[in-house]
Structure 1
Amino acid sequence: MLDQGAPPQNSGQTAAQASPGIGARLMRRKPVERLVEEGGQGEGGSLRRTLGLWQLTMISIGATLGTGIFVVLGEAVPKAGPAVTLSFVIAGLTALFSALSYAELAGTIPVSGSSYSYAYATMGELIAWICGWCLVLEYGVSVAAVAVGWGEYLNELLDGTIGVTIPAALSAPPGDGGVFNLPALIVVLLAMAFLMGGARESARANTVMVIVKIAALVLFCAIGVQGFRSGNYENFMPLGMAGVSAAGATLFFSYIGFDAASTAGEEAKNAQRDLPRAIMLSLVIVTALYVLVAAVAVGAKPWKNFTDSEAALAQIMRDVTGQTFWGTLLAFCAVIAIASVVLTVLYGQTRILFAMSRDGLVPKVFSKVHPKTKTPRTNTLIVSLFCGVLAAAIPLGQLADATSIGTLFAFALVNVAVVVLRRTKPDMPRTFRVPLSPVLPALGFGFCLWMMGSLSAVTWVVFGVWMAAGLVFYFLYGYRRSRLAPSEK
């Protein structure tokens, strides 16, 4: 028999030989306590806590409200017909289940990394990296897609006020009849300028833009209902449930952003109390407005007359009133409103990369904090330039679906994370708890997979290529530079 107390035969065994294998390294988790302790700390300084419940709610509404209504509605109606209202409800329910999980985790782990950090604490580094990589796709590509829609409404505004429009060569990307989408690049650079000034200043600007946005949608409903025709709803579901599902998957793009408040976890004054409230409140407000506006839009215009024009609401206003003034006014409000989406989603993207950089998975430059503004300025500059060029060169439809699949994947992981954390840290203080867990998180997970399955094969190919590129980057860079990696001597 072996002596259980005897020392190992190879007393010269190296630390490298005793280190965990690749499987254990890929599954290494970052303790929740460490995540919270490091909150706000970046390369060369820390973020500043300046945001209250009002600002956090406005960030979530700013990042969400307007994207689907102002930009994607004209693309979704031909897929579902009048049942597009049902598509909004389905997309909203999918978002709601995930929002409940986000609310619990945001109150428990109030850090900048959002679902990336939640996955790191519950499922290990490789899953966290995949989630973070999906968020880079979600936020970065969403900024570009929304910026493209902003250019459409800018042309509507210019045409209605001074009778000129930006030439197609400079207002549309290649593949959509243009060469370079200059307005899309401009709005991203304007958002970058606000973010450079600081989180508080950006939040103030966003609040003003959100108020304009809500006023614009209420105005549309008040005028659009005058052209309401019940006959437009006679054949409610002309393309069947498959059309409703396909439109729902596309419209899920319009709910992207409610999780933006969770990326502000390290700049919130009382993150554990305010983050769950901001997430849920913003989603309720956004869903109610989406369904109302979609119902009025389809009632005022036969669904077969909708086109994939990004300025669908302004066209309906003109058709109902017979005047260009109201459509021009809506276009003006949309220019302001969509700019707030660009601003807040761009903010979320920079904070995700901030957290990943702090963990060593992406270069340190992304977590470098400016000493005066207490913001990751270099990070903001790099991300803005990347998103601006993307917006100027890629057609909107492809961007929207690519964003949806990355978001749905990340949301699915959040629903898993909330169940795992309940099992591994059952006694951890929680300011919000998902009711009927694990049933509701399981439903959220299932809805996300169902909607991912509704997306086109081309979107899945793009997603697969993106994931493959992310894994290559992780194994070449993040795997060895991770702050959880064992030190090599």
Structure 2
Amino acid sequence: MEHSRGQSAPRSIFRRTSPEDALAATHDPHRQLRRTLTPWDLAVMGVAVAVGAGIFSVGATAAANYAGPAVIVSFVVAAIVCGLAIMCYAEFASSLPIAGSAYTFSYATMGEGVAWVIGWDLILEMLLAAAVIAKFWGVYVGDALHLFGIDVPMSFHVGGVSVEWGPVLVVAIFTTLLAIGTRLSTRVNAVFTALKVGITLFVVVAGFAYVKAANYHPFVPPSQPSTAGTSALHQSLFGWLLGWAPATYGAAGILSGAALVFFAFIGFDVVATTAEETKDPQRTMPRGMLGGLGVVTVLYILVSVVVTGMVPYTDLAKSASPSLTTAFVLVGATWAGKVISVGIVLGLTSVVMVLLLGLTRIVFAMSRDGLLPRGLSRTSPRFGTPARLQVGAGVVVALIAGLSQVHLLEEMINIGTLSAFVLVSFGVPVLRKLRPDLPRGFRVPWSPVLPWISGVACLWLMLNLTTLTWLRFAVWLAVGAVVYATYSYRHSRLGRGEVVQAREEDSLL
């Protein structure tokens, strides 16, 4: 049955909000975002968040430890999986152009309980990602300064506590810009993105001069037992459940490499969080997201072709931290280190900005629905942004990045992203069945087959993450369940009858 306003919704975690009511919430003058972004802005944002330090290292690491030259195939596999998920995001975003990304989409299809889980996961993903990238930004700034002969302390002490100033500085700058206005931030972001893409292309062109065809043989190295990560906690969950002996290279290595390099493509779900700030979102969201993914895929494959063609993958494997710089050093081109270090700093700078934006938009959407304190979703009448929330999120990220060893939780970012991809993929056929009449600016072709394939592929990549990551993920979900049971379930605007309850479908339950 439809619920009328003022009545309490059924006490069920499967209660859903209607798309119409979700869209109506965006007109609240105290919680309204301004539509200023174009397809170009979204494409640049996607490139900005996906092209960071990883473009110079993740391909080399995957080649050295997992796939050899076939890391190129790993990138193609990861890009295809991400592309399928992005099409699902694009359909949802063109149907429900609301802040919140996968959280909002899940609320309209699978109910409040699932929406809470995915929103909680996205907070984990973007909070840790922003802190990790800010942490690395400080490290690489120090490295870059050292390469140019400038040595400065990268930390200072406050009351006996060591604080790294680099992460705090970059978070403070972009928190201020984002609080002032999303449009201004995207213009600054576009400058940094253009510079880092230019440096990447320059390094790739320079690297091609050192490529030797012999280094691509064997393209798929034969499988061999792994000498690292043999404990159950450091095996993939899938391999541990089946009792497989840890191995590297071969076909399994290509898939393991795909799970690793998938990290390069996370962030496009962050772009979906800006749907409420996008002009003509039915057309803009699909074009911007898919266009950005295309550029990122080409860049990563080009770097992988160069790094595996410059030196044998076995030489990369001898390095403790293989990267494109490693390949240039091995061929005697030590000059490249300085250029790459500048590219890394520029790359990470724009990544931090986009992640801070995505984090606040997820919290904003959950707060507006009452699952988190409503005061967090109030927007500034002057700037049209959730300025107080943006500042609060920036303070939390800066504290985590400046004071902790957050990089030890890096793989948690992948599992948070993939869990969102899984639910969005499976949610497309659900929304089509529930609301076939809903206008869609973009439709995933061959539905429900492609969305199902996307969901299963993302689930497969999740199972290739380590058992330790899954245990940490379970702890995070347990904490989220406590928060939902003690606060969010009772304060939900839907549960309190302040919004219309969507029609319950027996097929969902």
Q: Scaled by the length of structure 1, what TM-score is found?
A: 0.88
Establish whether residue 38 from structure 1 lines up as the match of residue 48 from structure 2.
Answer: no
Establish whether residue 231 from structure 1 lines up as the match of residue 211 from structure 2.
Answer: no
Q: CA RMSD in A?
A: 2.4
SS of residue in 2 equivalent to 1:329: helix
Give the counterpart letter for 1:263 in structure 2.
Answer: T
Establish whether residue 126 from structure 1 lines up as the match of residue 113 from structure 2.
Answer: yes
Establish whether residue 29 from structure 1 lines up as the match of residue 8 from structure 2.
Answer: no
- Closer/same/farther in 2, CA of residues 459 and 428 from structure 1, 3 Å limit: same
2:292 — aligned with what?
Answer: 282
For residues 85 and 166 of structure 1, the distance between their equivalents in structure 2, rounded to whole angstroms, comes to 39
Sequence identity of aligned pairs in percent? 37
SS of residue in 2 equivalent to 1:38: helix
Establish whether residue 258 from structure 1 lines up as the match of residue 241 from structure 2.
Answer: no
1:10 — aligned with what?
Answer: none
TM-aligned CA deviation for residue 89 of structure 1: 1.3
Aligned counterpart for 1:183 among listed residues 166, 188, 191: 166
The one-character-per-residue Cα deviations of 1:122-161 (angstroms, maximum 9, x if unpaired) are 0000000011111111211111222233234323321221
SS of residue in 2 equivalent to 1:427: coil
Q: Size of the alignment, in residue pairs? A: 459
Give the counterpart letter for 2:67 in structure 1.
Answer: A
The one-character-per-residue Cα deviations of 1:402-455 (angstroms, maximum 9, x if unpaired) are 000111011000011111011011121111100000110011011011001100
2:367 — aligned with what?
Answer: 357
Give the counterpart letter for 1:157 in structure 2.
Answer: A
Q: Relative contact order (C-alpha < 8 Å, sep 6+): which is higher?
A: 2
Q: Are the aligned partners of 1:213 and 1:337 in contact in 2 as well (CA < 8 Å)?
A: yes
The gaps in structure 2 that reach 5 residues or longer are 1-6, 222-248, 499-509
2:38 — aligned with what?
Answer: 52
1:94 — aligned with what?
Answer: 81
TM-aligned CA deviation for residue 252 of structure 1: 1.1
Q: Are the aligned partners of 2:9 and 2:495 in contact in 1 as well (CA < 8 Å)?
A: no
The gaps in structure 1 that reach 5 residues or longer are 1-17, 172-177
Q: Are the aligned partners of 2:418 and 2:459 in contact in 1 as well (CA < 8 Å)?
A: yes
Aligned counterpart for 2:441 among listed residues 425, 431, 455: 431
Establish whether residue 418 from structure 1 lines up as the match of residue 428 from structure 2.
Answer: yes
For residues 189 and 246 of structure 1, the distance between their equivalents in structure 2, rounded to whole angstroms, comes to 36
- Closer/same/farther in 2, CA of residues 182 and 247 from structure 1, 3 Å limit: farther
- Closer/same/farther in 2, CA of residues 248 and 396 from structure 1, 3 Å limit: farther
For residues 64 and 40 of structure 1, the distance between their equivalents in structure 2, rounded to whole angstroms, comes to 32
Give the counterpart letter for 1:116 in structure 2.
Answer: Y
Give the counterpart letter for 1:277 in structure 2.
Answer: R
Q: Are the aligned partners of 2:356 and 2:394 in contact in 1 as well (CA < 8 Å)?
A: yes
Matches within 5 A, 1:395-406: 395=405, 398-406=408-416
Q: Are the aligned partners of 1:365 and 1:378 in contact in 2 as well (CA < 8 Å)?
A: no
Aligned counterpart for 2:58 among listed residues 63, 72, 83: 72
The one-character-per-residue Cα deviations of 1:233-255 (angstroms, maximum 9, x if unpaired) are 22333322222222221211111
Q: Are the aligned partners of 1:415 and 1:445 in contact in 2 as well (CA < 8 Å)?
A: yes
2:185 — aligned with what?
Answer: 202
Establish whether residue 145 from structure 1 lines up as the match of residue 140 from structure 2.
Answer: no
Establish whether residue 135 from structure 1 lines up as the match of residue 122 from structure 2.
Answer: yes
Q: Are the aligned partners of 2:9 and 2:15 in contact in 1 as well (CA < 8 Å)?
A: no
For residues 346 and 453 of structure 2, the distance between their equivalents in structure 1, rounded to whole angstroms, comes to 36
2:452 — aligned with what?
Answer: 442
SS of residue in 2 equivalent to 1:188: helix
The one-character-per-residue Cα deviations of 1:363-400 (angstroms, maximum 9, x if unpaired) are 12321212211111121122222222333455566433
Establish whether residue 213 from structure 1 lines up as the match of residue 213 from structure 2.
Answer: no
For residues 313 and 431 of structure 1, the distance between their equivalents in structure 2, rounded to whole angstroms, comes to 40
Q: Are the aligned partners of 1:41 and 1:47 in contact in 2 as well (CA < 8 Å)?
A: no
For residues 302 and 55 of structure 2, the distance between their equivalents in structure 1, rounded to whole angstroms, comes to 10
2:301 — aligned with what?
Answer: 291
Give the counterpart letter for 2:51 in structure 1.
Answer: L
Q: Are the aligned partners of 2:140 and 2:344 in contact in 1 as well (CA < 8 Å)?
A: yes
Q: Are the aligned partners of 1:135 and 1:410 in contact in 2 as well (CA < 8 Å)?
A: yes
TM-aligned CA deviation for residue 318 of structure 1: 4.7
